[in-house]
Structures are given as structure tokens and as C-alpha cells.
Amino acid sequence: MKARIIKIVVTGGNGRFVKVLKNTLKSQNIFYPNKKKLNITSIKSIENYLRKIKPKILIHCAGLSRPMNLHDKQISKSIDLNIIGTCNIVKICEKMKIKLIYFSTGYVYPGIKGSYKEEDSLNPINNYAWSKLGGECAVKLYKNSLILRIIMCEKPFIHKYAFSDIKTNFIFHEKVAKIIPKLLRKKGTINIGGEIQSVYNFAKKYNKNIKKMSGKKYFPPNPSMNISKLKKILKKK
């Protein structure tokens, strides 16, 4: 008896993280369409592509991310891509009975006390996070789904300065890519991150020339997440 082949579609084929994911999960059954093949602002484009591929799982990474001030300067674009685009994805996944995994952000938490659990109250810290929470609202309506709240970055740390007074739990793209296969069957919401520490302490491990700066002007003091739920899942694998 042949093993059933599970096809997976990952939106945002040209994105920074998706390129890392593609290099990590090398399979002929995982598809990484770019905007020309799957445009999340077009219901027709989404449905046409998914009917052609017939995936069992869709990992939704496409959208507008940084620089974060884009979400202040280009509000319509932020809404179109991160909220309406995600709503379109949810509609078609529900219609075609496709499991949906949505990439959100840890910045949907208030960022004051830190170590936020998945069930804690939400109060996004900036427009980017509000746009991602808007997407979460649509995903929550569809029960065959998983929301991943993540604070991740490229390796090596690309900035010259790092916040010494802001705590978080950054995790590199490469580590997240290795975690994803272990979460494909999960539903609900899961926080993904690394060790809780200042951004500066995280960055200086990989760049000794990194310089300190204050982040109080840009972020609340502690948007870190509790990742106990994730650790339990990974421990079982």
C-alpha cells in the first residue's frame, strides 16, 4: 500500500523566511508560489492555484512586514495584504477544506510584563501587529487552523545597533524552519521563540561589534513570549 502524499503550499515564495524554509524543507510536494502565481489579494488567483495543486496544508507567510513604519505610512497596503489577503486565504481554505497555518507575530501582546502565554490578553504594540491580529481574527473563525506567534530574524543579525533595554525572545529563521514540520498536525495557537533576553544580548553572541541603543522610543519594555507549550510539543517528538 502506497503512503499518502501530502502536498503543502507556502505563500510568499519570494519572502526572506520562505527562502530559508525552501532550503530546509527540500521536497517535491511542497510548493512556494510567488505573487504572480498566487496573489493573496485575488480570490480567483488563490482558488485557481490551489485547485491546480490540491494541497492538504497551506502555510500562509505572504504579507507586508518591514520596515514596520510602512504600516503607518501605507495603511491601505497593510490592510489589503495582511488583513484582506489573509481573509481571502481563509475563505478558500475553508471552501476547499485545506488545513491553514498562519504566521502571526509576538507583537500582538501588550509588551509590558513579558513571558506572555497564548491565552493572555492581546493589545498590539504597533500598526504592523494590529494588521497581523486582523488576520488572526479571520483565521480563528476557521477551526482547521493553527496560528503561530513568532518573533524571528535573519542570521546573522543584520543591524549595527541593538536595543539594550528591550527584552524579547528572538529566534533565527533557520530554527523556525526546522520546527515547522513538527507542528503540521497542531491546531489553535502556539508561541515560537528563543531565550528571553535583551535584543543586545541576543545580537552580541553573533556580532561582537554590535552597539547598544535604547528602544524605548519604538517598543514597550518586554514583548517576550512564554514558549512552554512549544517546548512540550518538541519534547514529545
The reply to whether 113 falls in a domain is: yes
Would 163 be classed as within a structural domain? no
0.85 exceeded by the pTM? Answer: yes
Q: What is the pLDDT of residue 237?
A: 56
Instruction: Give the whole-angstrom CA distance, residue 123 versus residue 170.
Output: 20
Position 5 scores a pLDDT of 79
The answer to the question of residue 80 being in a domain is yes
How far does Cα 233 stand from its chain's mean position? Answer: 18
Q: Would the pLDDT of 2 be above 70?
A: no
Among residues 111, 110, 194, the alpha carbon closest in space to that of 151 is found at 194
Per-residue pLDDT band at 232 (split at 50, 70, 90): very high
- Please check the confidence at residue 3 and state whether its pLDDT lies above 70: no
Residue 103 in domain: yes
pLDDT digits (tens, 9 = 90+) for 9-43: 999 999 999 999 999 998 899 999 999 999 999 99
- Structural domain of residue 87, as residue ranges? 8-154+170-194
Q: Which three cell numbers stand for residue 138?
A: 479571520
Q: Identify whether 220 is part of a domain.
A: no
Specify if 99 maps to a domain: yes
Q: Is residue 94 part of a domain?
A: yes
The CATH number covering residue 139 comes to 3.40.50.720
Total domain count, the chain: 1
Q: What is the mean pLDDT of the chain?
A: 95
For the stretch 52-79, pLDDT in tens is 999 999 999 999 988 888 999 999 999 9
Which positions ≥6 away from 205 have C-beta within 8 Å?
none
Do 91 and 43 form a contact (C-beta atoms < 8 A)? yes
The answer to whether residue 122 sits within a structural domain is: yes
Residue 1 has pLDDT above 60, yes or no: no
